[in-house]
Amino acid sequence: MEINITSRETIKPSLSTSTEFKTHKLCLFDVFQLNTYFPLILFYDNTTNAKGFSYVSTQLKKSLSEALTIFYPLGGRRGDFFSIYCNDEGAIYMEASVNINMEEFLNPPKLELLNKLLPCEPNKCHPCQEVLPQLLVQVNLFQCGGIAIGMCNLHILLDAYSCSAFLKTWFAICKGSKEEISSWPDFISASSFFPPRNTIGVRAGMLNINKDSNVEAKCTTRRFLFDSKSINKLESMSSSDETKPTRYQAVSSFMCKHMILACTKECCDTKRPMVALHVVDMRKRMGEPFSKGAIGNLLWPALVLLEDVNKNTNIRDLVRVLKEGLGKLTKELFLKVQNDPRFLWSDECAQLMLEGIATKNPITFVFTSWANMGFNEVDFGRGKPLWLAQRGGTKETIPNTVVLMETKEGIEAWVTMAEKHIANLENDMDFLQFSLVNPSVSNI
C-alpha cells in the first residue's frame, strides 16, 4: 500500500479570536498531561453516492475553519506551562491518496499501516517546552472513493470527550446542520473550578502515574473484539448477589487478568506489584456545570492494587476490587480537590494514588473507555462512520495500555504491549475463547 500526501496547509479560524479570549487558562488536570497526541481515525465508505472529493475537501476545510472559531483554543499554541495563547495560528490539514480500495484495507484491517493514515506519530512524548499545533488532520482518499479522516489531538487541552464535542461541531457545520450541535463548548468551568497550581511537592503518585514506567523499544498494538455474546458471558461470570458489573468493568477485569498472565509468563516479574489504572471522566460524577460541554482533561485515575493474580483468579474478585476503587471517586472527593489547595499533598490523596506501592516498581495496566462518546455517530455528510480505529505499528511507547471502543458488534479493545507480551496474550487460549483477534470490518 502506498499513501501519497497530495496537499498540506494550515486552516485558520474563520474569525479572529477577540482580545478578551486571547489567553486560555489550562486547568489543573491539563498540566498533568504529557505533551503528546492521541489518535483517532474515522472510516467512511462511498455507498451514499456523495459528491466528488473536490467538493468534500472544500466543505471539510471551510467547516473546519468555522469550527476553529467556536473552539478557538484549538487554533492557538501553548503560551506557557499554564495557558494556551489563542493566536489563530490554526490547525494543520493534510490530504493523501491511498492506492488500494478501503475494502482491501479493512478485511482484515491492516493495523501495521494505520499510522500512515495519521498526520503525525501518535502518542510520542514531546518535551514539555516544545510548542505544537493543537490539532492535525489527514484526510485519506481510497481508490474506491472511501475516506478515512485521521486526527491527532494534543492531550494538554483535549480528552476524548472534548475531542468528540469538537468533531460533532465540525461535522454538523460541514453538512449544514448546526442545529444538531447539542451543546456549545465551555472553556471556563474546568480552569475556574480547578485552577492550575504549583505542583512542587505534590504526592508522587499524582504527577504522571506512568512517568517511571519503562518505555519499551518494541511495543506493538493489537485489536481484539468482544462480541455481544462474549460480553454477556463475562458479565454473567462477574456477577454475584453483591456485584453487578457494567460491560466495561467485566471486559476490563477479564483483560487485566490475562494481560498480567502475559506479562508474568516468563516468571521474571512475578514479585512486582500489579496496579490497574482506570481513567475516569469526572463530568458525570461532578454534575453541573461539567456535564454540559466542559472542555479540558477532566480526568482522574482510579488505581487498584491487584494481588496474587494467576490463571485461577476469579474475574468476579477483580470486578469487586475495581468497583471498590471506582466507588472512592465521588463528587465529594472532587469538591475536596477543588476547595482544598493542600489536598494533593494530603495523606488521603497519597492513599488514593497508592503512594506506598510506587517505590516498589509496579507494573501498571492503564484502561480507558471511549464508549458513549458519540464517535460512532459523527457524520460529515456521508452517514455514520463505518469503523473507528486507534493506532498501529511497532514503536517506542508506554506499554500495557488499553482503549476500549464501542462498535456495532460489541466492544473493541486496542491493546499496546511489549511484543513478547502481546504474543503471549495472542496465544492464550482462555483469552481467545472470548475475543476475536483483529476480525474483518463488516458492512463494507
At 275-323, the pLDDT tens digits run: 999 999 999 899 887 877 899 999 999 999 999 999 999 999 999 999 9
The pLDDT value recorded for residue 258 is: 97
Is the separation of the CB atoms in 203 and 344 below 8 Å?
yes
When pLDDT is averaged across residues 374-384 and rounded to a whole number, the result is 93
Range with the lowest mean pLDDT among 13-17, 62-66, 252-256, 306-310?
A: 306-310
| pLDDT over threshold 90, residue 241 | no
What are the beta bridge partners of residue 205? none
The pLDDT value recorded for residue 205 is: 55
Round the CA-based radius of gyration of the chain to a whole number and report it. 22
Question: Which stretches of 82-216 are DSSP H helices?
Answer: 102-106, 160-174, 189-193
d(CA 190, CA 328): 21
The pLDDT value recorded for residue 136 is: 98
CA geometry: angle at 190 spanning 364 and 34, to 5°? 35
Mean predicted lDDT score pLDDT of the chain? 91
What are the beta bridge partners of residue 411? 226, 406
What are the beta bridge partners of residue 436? 225
The pLDDT value recorded for residue 398 is: 83
Cell representation of residue 179? 442545529
Q: In what order do the strands lie in the sheet with 83-85?
A: 23-25, 83-85, 77-80
Spell out the domain ranges in the chain: 3-193, 216-437
The CATH class that applies to domain 216-437 reads: alpha beta
What are the beta bridge partners of residue 412? 225, 405
The pLDDT value recorded for residue 396 is: 80
Residue with cell string 497508592: 354
Is the separation of the CB atoms in 154 and 132 below 8 Å?
yes
Tens digits of per-residue pLDDT, 142-186?
999 999 999 999 999 999 999 999 999 999 999 999 888 877 999
Range with the lowest mean pLDDT among 7-11, 286-290, 328-332?
A: 286-290
Provide the residue type at 125 as one letter.
C
Half-sphere exposure of residue 249: CA atoms within 13 angstroms, side-chain side: 23
Superfamily classification of domain 3-193: Chloramphenicol acetyltransferase-like domain (3.30.559.10)
If you count them, how many residues does the chain have? 444
When pLDDT is averaged across residues 414-440 and rounded to a whole number, the result is 96
What are the beta bridge partners of residue 387? 43
Is the separation of the CB atoms in 343 and 263 below 8 Å?
no
d(CA 376, CA 374): 5
Cell representation of residue 141? 482518499
d(CA 303, CA 329): 10
Half-sphere exposure of residue 440: CA atoms within 13 angstroms, side-chain side: 9
Please return the burial class of 436, using the count of CB atoms within 10 Å of its CB with bins 0-12, 13-18 and 19+.
Answer: middle
Residues of the chain with pLDDT > 90, as a percent, come to 75
CA geometry: angle at 316 spanning 311 and 317, to 5°? 75
The pLDDT value recorded for residue 207 is: 47
Tens digits of per-residue pLDDT, 277-286?
999 999 989 9
Residues of the chain with pLDDT > 70, as a percent, come to 93
What are the beta bridge partners of residue 389? 41
pTM: 0.94
Backbone φ and ψ of 126, nearest 5°: -95, 155
